[in-house]
Each structure stands twice: as C-alpha cells, then as structure tokens.
Amino acid sequence: MVLQNYIKTEPPFTTGTGFPDSRFCTGLTCRRLRYPGLEAAGYIDYNHLVDKEAIKQNVARLLAEIPRGVELVAAAKTRTPEAVLTAVEAGIQIIGENYVREAKEAHALVGTKARWHFIGTFQKHNIRRKAVELFDMIETVDSLEIAREIDRRCAQAEKIMPVLIEVNSGSEPQKAGVLPEDAEQLITDVSGLRSIKVMGLMTMGPYTGDPQDSRPYFIRTRRIFEEIRELALPNVEMKHLSMGMTNSYRVAIEEGANIIRIGTMIFGERGHQ
C-alpha cells in the first residue's frame, strides 16, 4: 500500500504515530514509502476518490469548446496515474508532465494511449536517455546548454526530438525561458543540432487574476513566432505555438495559440482529483 494513494478519514494523528498530520500526502518521497495496515489506521483507498465523472465532463466540455486545429495538453503535475488515465479515456490525446518520475508512473498505466509532452524545467543533470525515450516533445528548451544535452541523449537513443523554445515573455527574472530579445539567436544556435528539431515556441507569461492581462505577452510571443518563421531557418519548422492555461487559454487562442495546457479545469484543484 502506498501512502500517497490514501486519504485520512479520522481526526489528525498525533505526532508519535509516524503518519503525517496533513490530509494529503502527494510528495514524491511519500509515494515511495510503504506503511502496513493503513485501512485499519483510518485511511481509505485514494484511487477510489478520483472523480472520474467530473474529469470526463470537463474534458468533454473543453474538447467541444476549443477550435479545430488547437491541441489540448492535459497538464498532469501531481495528478495520480488513475486520474491521467481517466482523462485519456475521456478523449485527451496529449499529457503534459513536469516531472520525469511522475511521467514514468503515469506512463506505466497509460502507455501509448496518449502522447507525452515534457512541460517542466529540465536541469542538465536530470536529462537521461530514458527520459528522452519517454517523451514525444519537450516544450521547455530555454538554453543552448540544455538543448545540447537533450541532443546528446537523443543521439544515444537514435531519436529526433521535437522541441519548443520557451520564451520568458514577461522578462521575469524568477522564471525560466529565454528572453524575447534572445530567442532568435538561441533558435539559430539550436538549429545546428542534429537530434532535435525546433517546432515552435512556448510561453507562460506573468500570472495575474485577469486573463486579459496575459494578452500583451501572448501577442509578443506570437510576433516572435512569426518573425522566426519568416527566416526559414534550416531544421526549424515553426508549427506550434503553446500558450495559455486554465485561466488564460481563451485569450491565448485568440492570439494564435494552437497548443493550450490545461490542468485545473480538467482535474480540479490539486488535492481534489
């Protein structure tokens, strides 16, 4: 029994029990720990609490709403493999994962029923051959160093990886992504690598409560996209523009996004799958 898959139904345990006091345990460490007798201790199987009907209804509404030609990525950060499978069975064709370990666990259940995009931040030391073998696209390349390491691992796997260049459209120092003014040079440099192929751009933009606040950043990214497409660089096919999440996907589509990344609107708030 894996603690991550169980939810406490009794009042909080005392600190001397060895169990966490929080209602959920969703961390990667917790899901690796095993505890005997969880049902007797007041836990019930968390997998049974995945709201499958809600996920199916959410997916159906989104697929009916988004225009033809826009691809929907289900952003599955911290979601259980069971929740991911439910979304795929409801019609999701692309799963977006932030963490390789979570992707492996979900992939073990879902397999090739969906395509797999990496949408998290890669550190150079975390890029492994098995990771590049798992994903069908990496949306978050933001430096030549990372691109070269992905290229090296893909060469080992005898695979050409489609990638998107992540643009820090708000020029926020705390966020990943190449600065807008440096995007063209990075893409030019990356285009010389043999085992990856630039297929477009991705951006998040600054988060605010008002989706309209994202519009200038989506416009900025679209203009970079169009400018680079006009350059007709070798080994670069500006096909995908990945912008917009749960609170901003409608604005992103209006500004040219053909990939949107939706998590909460599909799975619900984290901790309430």
Distance CA 65, CA 128 (A): 37
- The residue among 245, 243, 251 whose CA lies nearest residue 265 is 245
Distance CA 234, CA 57 (A): 43
- Please report the pLDDT score of residue 12 as a whole number: 37
- Please state the pTM of the whole predicted model: 0.81
Contact by Cβ (8 Å): 106, 81: yes
Give 240's strand partners: 200
pLDDT tens digits for the chain (273 residues)?
A: 344 444 443 333 333 333 333 333 333 333 333 344 444 444 433 444 578 999 999 999 999 999 999 999 999 999 999 999 999 999 999 999 999 999 999 999 999 999 999 999 987 777 888 889 999 999 999 999 999 999 999 999 999 999 999 999 999 998 999 999 999 999 999 999 999 999 999 999 888 889 999 999 999 999 999 999 999 999 999 999 999 999 999 999 999 999 999 999 999 987 544
Give the H/E segment covering residue 242. strand 236-242
What is the DSSP secondary structure assignment for residue 124, as one 8-state letter? Answer: G
CA angle, 101 then 178 then 99, to 5°: 5
Distance CA 165, CA 36 (A): 46
- Please report the pLDDT score of residue 3 as a whole number: 40
Does the domain at 51-267 match CATH 3.20.20.10? Answer given as yes
For the chain, give every residue range classified as CATH 3.20.20.10.
51-267
